[in-house]
A and B are shown apart, each in its own frame.
Chain A
Amino acid sequence: MITAATDTSPEAAAFQQAANESRLLFGQCSVCDKPHYYPRRICPFCSSAEVEWLQASGRGHIYSYSVVRKATPPYATAYVTLTEGVTMLTNLLTPDFDRLQIGDEVELLFVKGDDDQQSAFFRPIA
């Protein structure tokens, strides 16, 4: 699925390439100075094309989450707010879903999917 998306979206290809090198990018506008996610080439706040894709530090906290219990095995979808200020959809990796809490500090790691493409996941900082 990820391969198909980058194949058809030249705009997103650099994001996936960075992810495959274990770097998470977000959009930062040079005109209005606002960060955004998902990153795009046109700023969604001011329509400027003066957008840089910056590398996130990889630290953040859980804004909200849900453990998909009906899946086998269960997995946790979440929104993580990065220290840079943007909030992104992701998955959380943890041996104990019951200990997750909104506000928990998390750190970035990359997980390779079935299609050999890496995606940004997070795990609680012990």
Chain B
Amino acid sequence: MSQAYIVGAFEHPTRLAVEQSVAQLHAEVAIGALEDAGLSRHDVDGYLCAGDAPGIGPLSIVEYLGLDVRYADSTDIGGSAPIAHVAHAAQAIAAGRCNVALITLAGRPRAAMERAGLVTEYTDYPESLFELPYRPILAASYAMCAKRHMHEFGTTSEQLAWVKVAASQHAQHNPNALLRKVVTVDDVLGSPMIADPLHRLDCCVTTDGGGAIIVAREEIARSLCRPLVRLRGAGESIKYQLGSGFDLTTTAGKKSGAQAFAQAGVSPADIKYLSTYDSFTITVLLALEDLGFCAKGEGGRFVEDGQLISGIGRLPVNTDGGGLCNNHPAHRGGVTKIIEAVRQLRGEAHPAVQVKNCDLAVAHGTGGMLDRRHGCATAIFERL
């Protein structure tokens, strides 16, 4: 069990950043999280970011912010990276490498898209030659996992749609959410097919903005006037396919979740609230199974009939509206998962979605391409 605490969390209110630069957005969320914590930039001696930060790793943003850090980490496992960063920061704190670590995530893909259209850049990865000729768009990557899950377990499009319905039920209470309109299962099934079986409403939003997290050691956390949120367990894992033993229905979350629950000494039944990556509806379904909230193949039955809606269902999930309705800044949903978990643990979520006596919560991320290679990170937080 770590002695690291989340002392600051901030989500940028914007969803379209026409006027700001990416670096400016990183700075704005950093300032927001420091204010939330009651700390100053001079207290920060660790900085963590992923590939959404412009420049070489942490270099440009550390300079832009004018920080003096003795610990830096730019681990990038896709959108789940900030959840891994929390654990890395906790390790650095435990090792005496820093006292206060700042994690930022920000971007402006929406503003950039409005300006230039969707640009796909050629990348010289080892797998490029074997994948790019087949135009593997992201939605198709997740769609093939969904199709296989349907084939193996009888999962239906209606069941996937319930994930979006729950997100929209929560988002109606979030004034900053991009999509606040409540939708029905029929709305999801009636929306245009993007890559079958995933409809437009099975896909997350594209937004600008971002978020930041401050992780600090125990003495500092106890000196601040904020509810105490401690990292209790964490795990991370990377999954890929090598051609043999192919499997599209289990994610790296099976390993990252097992590590996190083992370290925390708790089980899924103890969890009051779950923030889980929802790049697509299928991403949520697979995470619920792999984290152990239900058996493999039972995800569809687990989510249907509003079971993820706070106050109604068995497990409140993504009460900010998630990436499906609220925010998926820089195409990366990791930081917002941590932020809403912190809100829930502090009792600062919207009253309509606040989970009663929320003392144990999970933030879980699935970044990258679900079918080909992805990285999962799981963090279990407790309120003391």
Contacts and interface: CB of A to CB of B under 8 A. Distances in A.
Given A77-B135, A77-B136, A64 B129 contact: no
B137 A68 contact: yes
A38 to B, nearest CB: 4
B343 interface: no
Contacts of A117: 133
A4 B124 contact: yes
A125 interface: no
B196 A2 contact: no
Interface in A59-83: 63-71, 75, 77-79, 81
A89 B124 contact: no
Contacts of A11: 126
A89 B126 contact: no
A26 B127 CA distance: 13
Contacts of A5: 124, 128-129, 132
B243 interface: yes
B350 interface: no
A69 B130 CA distance: 22
B244 A40 contact: no
Interface residues of A, number: 46
A44 B242 contact: yes
Given A9-B124, A36-B242, A79 B248 contact: yes
Contact of A69 (B127, B151, B196, B372): B196
Contact of B195 (A15, A16, A68): A68
A22 interface: no
Interface stretch (B139-147, B262-270, B357-365): B139-147
Contacts of A69: 192-196
A6 interface: yes
A60 to B, nearest CB: 12
A7 B324 CA distance: 40
A93 to B, nearest CB: 12
Interface string A25-66: 011000000111110100011000000000000000001111
Interface in A68-126: 68-71, 75, 77-79, 81, 85-91, 102, 113, 117, 119
A37 B245 CA distance: 11
B242 A37 contact: yes
Given A16-B129, A64-B145, A89-B372, A119 B122 contact: no
Interface in A1-21: 1-2, 4-6, 8-9, 11-12, 15-16
Identify the interface centre among A11, A15, A66: most chain B CB within 10 Å of its CB.
A66
Interface string B11-23: 0000000000000
A122 to B, nearest CB: 11
Given A1-B133, A26-B243, A8 B195 contact: no
Nearest to A119: B133
Contacts of B372: 89
Interface of A: 1-2, 4-6, 8-9, 11-12, 15-16, 26-27, 34-38, 40, 44-45, 63-71, 75, 77-79, 81, 85-91, 102, 113, 117, 119
Given A64-B147, A77-B195, A89-B134, 10 more contacts: A1-B128, A1-B133, A5-B129, A38-B130, A66-B143, A69-B194, A70-B195, A71-B137, A81-B246, A91-B134
9 contacts: A1-B122, A9-B124, A38-B127, A38-B130, A45-B242, A69-B192, A70-B139, A86-B244, A87-B241
